[in-house]
Amino acid sequence: MALLRRFLRHPGAVVGAAVLLLVLAVAILAPVLFPGSPWDMAGPPFAPPGEDGMLLGSDSLGRNVAAGIAYGARVSLLVGAVSTAVAILIGVALGALAGYLGGVVDDAVMRFTEFFQTIPSFVLAILLVAIFTPSITSIVAAIAIVSWPPVARVVRAEFLSLRGREFVQAAEVLGKRPMAIVLTDILPNALSPIIVLASLNTASAILLESSLSFLGLGDPNLMSWGFLIGSGRSVIRIAWWMSVFPGIAIFITVLALNLVGEGLSDAMNPRLRKRGAK
Amino acid sequence: MSRLPGFLLRRALKSVVVILAIVVCNFLLIHAAPGDPAMVMAGQSGSADPQYMEQLRRQFGLDRPLIEQLWIYLKGVLHLDLGFSHRQQVGVAQLILDRLPATLLLTGMAFAIAISGGVTLGALAARRVGTWADSVITVIALAFYATPLFWVGLMLVLLFSVHLEWLPSFGMTDPGLNQEGFALWLDVAKHLVLPAVTLGLFYLAVYARLTRATMLEVADQDFVKTARAKGVPEGRVLRAHVLRNALLPVITFAGIQAGQLVGGSILVETVFAWPGIGRLAFEALLARDYQVLMGVFFITSVMVVLFNLLTDLLYALIDPRVEMA
């Protein structure tokens, strides 16, 4: 409860959370708000915003831009959440392994992590999605593969500092199995930085997904924000609304997630407030 | 200084290992992909004529054991043979080499904008911490953090090219004019403004936040209090004591971020049709020309590794203590 109160003290975080709920509501209610497929023609092509009953205008094939954005929210939130979950899973597993076992294992895992942090992650993501053909699965996998390293580093650092504490030693003396110690003693205490990372990572995953689909690497069966901007790019001189509104949708969602992440970070580590950034 | 060569040697060795790992990574990707590797490399949009497939099979030795294939592939890369683009009828290495200068110009310029602007704004925000100027800078940084790079590019095009008609939105030179010397440079500079600013803005936000945070951290330390106590003017304390020490983490971070900058150039070059390796990657993507795509991945990785090495060298020269790291 104290946590919630500290979180609520952040105006930015509260606004962020509200916006996020709104985006989530639009995503869930997309079929109600815009019945029918977002790929179908809804009116004349290139209708400016507000005309022909389309709030945000229509695209070159007469499709409703607002409907595209609503359905795109589903893809963006889904990809953001699932790829973050996978990235957290990989990161926690590797970080826990390195931090708890230490020694050679730690060395090996950290070299592996460093390698993934060195290579240009966006280029790797493009390569992965292109080779395994664009689909929601390959996109989620590619984003998870390039975004787990920071999680592994943070979890490792937490485990390194926690494994020497008395309560862990006590559990060891009591003969608890290492796996049980890791899962029930150490991990719950390392949770707060993981939660903060998760919200920030969801934000960057959404950005990454939009970049991929902008380049034409989106799932061909799913409407997405990046795809909308990509298809509006060549006609930006005559139909600015096609690329402006989906971009605003991405901006608002990502900003909201970042604000929530910062609010969570401050609420969970009041002592670290001043450090900010990164 | 005496141990510097040893330190650099270790780092260079590490870089070589990373580059080898990337080559192996590329190799494994070809084999992990669904279907016959030759088929994958030839692309899926119909250009898989038997002769080319035969050539690919020979190049990769696809009939031999996997480990032998890896060896063949490694040897090729070490001879700077990055494969052959059947679509463009040119070697991949040649293709990339032709496009590299444009990308270096763009990323170099963007980096200069990002680091100079970011450090300035960050220092300004840290100096006026808690005032409206600090809030404005923090909010702007937060906003750029949340905006997709390619969308910023499009919005700049909309404003400066379509609406105001100040700057060109496309390419590197004006194809209608056949310029030379100074006029050509001026034309390239005009075309460079929008892409470089687009790519630079995001990192500007990153460096501004980082500079602000590290400056506030350094400002709390004892040597700063000492400087103040002995009467050093406030401006000098900030410049000579705080900023100088805050810059080191910014430099390190910039080194780590080099890879992201190169990755971002794919988006920016696509938006502005800038003829660099990012645009090449996009064209390869459209044509399903995987040899070129892997070549780009390899070259950008090598660029990042070299840049990291350079950062290490710079860092070791600035701050002798890092040798231990």
Interface test with B, best of A118, A145, A274 (most B CBs within 10 A): A118
CA distance B181 to chain A (A): 32
Mean pLDDT of all residues in A165-191:
87
Closest chain B residue by Cα to residue A217: B285
pLDDT in tens, A209-233: 999 999 989 888 888 999 989 888 8
Interface test with A, best of B150, B203, B220 (most A CBs within 10 A): B150
Mean pLDDT of all residues in B48-67:
71
Residue A22's pLDDT band (cuts 50, 70, 90):
very high
Residue A270's pLDDT band (cuts 50, 70, 90):
low
In a domain, A202, yes or no: yes
pLDDT at A91: 94
Sequential DSSP letters for A42-80: -SSTTPPTTGGG-TT-B-TTS-BHHHHHHHHHHHHHHHH
CA distance B207 to chain A (A): 10
In this model, does residue A276 exceed pLDDT 50?
Answer: no
pLDDT in tens, B280-297: 888 888 877 778 888 888
pLDDT at B40: 64
In this model, does residue B45 exceed pLDDT 60?
Answer: no
Sequential DSSP letters for A223-252: --HHHHHHHHHTTTTT-THHHHHHHHHHHH
In a domain, A49, yes or no: no
Residue A115 belongs to domain with CATH number = 1.10.3720.10
Instruction: Give Cα separations from B113 to A95, B19, B108 (angstroms).
Output: 36, 29, 9
Mean pLDDT of all residues in B35-45:
61
pLDDT at A272: 52
pLDDT in tens, A67-106: 888 899 999 999 999 999 999 999 999 999 998 888 899 9
B181: phi > 0 → left, psi -120 to 50 → alpha, else beta; which?
left
Residue from the list B18, B33, B142 with its beta carbon closest to the beta carbon of A118: B18
Side-chain half-sphere exposure of A233, counting CA atoms within 13 A: 24
* Helical axes B4-32 vs A121-131, angle rounded to 10°: 20
Residue A209: give the domain boundaries. 2-43+54-276
Please tell me the distance from the alpha carbon of residue B294 to that of residue B289, in angstroms, as a whole number: 9
Q: What is the dihedral of CA A35, A41, A43, A49, to 10 degrees?
A: 80
Residue B39, token pair as written in the block: 């088929």
Residue from the list B34, B256, B290 with its beta carbon closest to the beta carbon of A117: B256
Please tell me the distance from the alpha carbon of residue A36 to that of residue A32, in angstroms, as a whole number: 9
pLDDT at B1: 47
In a domain, A84, yes or no: yes
Which amino acid is located at B74 in the chain? L
> Average per-residue pLDDT in chain B?
80
In this model, does residue A277 exceed pLDDT 70?
Answer: no
Asked if A155 and A194 touch (Cβ cutoff 8 Å), the reply is: yes
Report the range out of A190-194, B185-189, B233-237 with the highest average pLDDT: A190-194
Contact A120 B308 (CB under 8 A): no
ipTM: 0.84
- Please state the domain count of chain A: 1
pLDDT in tens, B134-188: 888 888 888 888 889 899 888 988 888 877 878 777 777 777 666 677 777 777 8
Higher model confidence: residue B293 or residue B62? B293
In B, residues 16-45, which contact A (CB 8 Å cutoff)? Answer: 18, 21-22, 25, 29-30, 32-34, 40, 44
In a domain, A70, yes or no: yes
Mean pLDDT of all residues in A170-183:
87
Mean pLDDT of all residues in B9-23:
86
pLDDT at B42: 64
pLDDT in tens, B99-141: 888 898 998 899 889 889 988 888 888 887 777 878 888 888 8
Instruction: Give Cα separations from A82 to A74, A214, B89, B141 (angstroms).
Output: 12, 20, 41, 27
Q: What percent of chain B has pLDDT over 70?
A: 87
A271 touching B, CB under 8 A?
no
| Contacts B213 to A, Cβ<8 Å | 275-278
Asked if A201 and A208 touch (Cβ cutoff 8 Å), the reply is: no
In a domain, A69, yes or no: yes
In a domain, A264, yes or no: yes
pLDDT at B324: 45
Q: Is B230 helix (H, G, I), strand (E, B) or coil?
A: coil
In a domain, A48, yes or no: no
Phi and psi, residue A64, nearest 5°: -75, 120
In a domain, A181, yes or no: yes
B154 touching A, CB under 8 A?
yes
Residue from the list B146, B263, B270 with its beta carbon closest to the beta carbon of A123: B263
In A, residues 124-143, which contact B (CB 8 Å cutoff)? Answer: 124, 126-128, 130-133
pLDDT at A275: 43
pLDDT in tens, A111-155: 899 888 888 888 899 989 988 888 999 999 999 999 999 999 999
pLDDT in tens, B247-274: 777 877 777 777 778 888 889 998 888 8
Asked if A218 and A204 touch (Cβ cutoff 8 Å), the reply is: no
Instruction: Give Cα separations from B40 to A201, B57, B268, B291 (angstroms).
Output: 32, 11, 27, 9
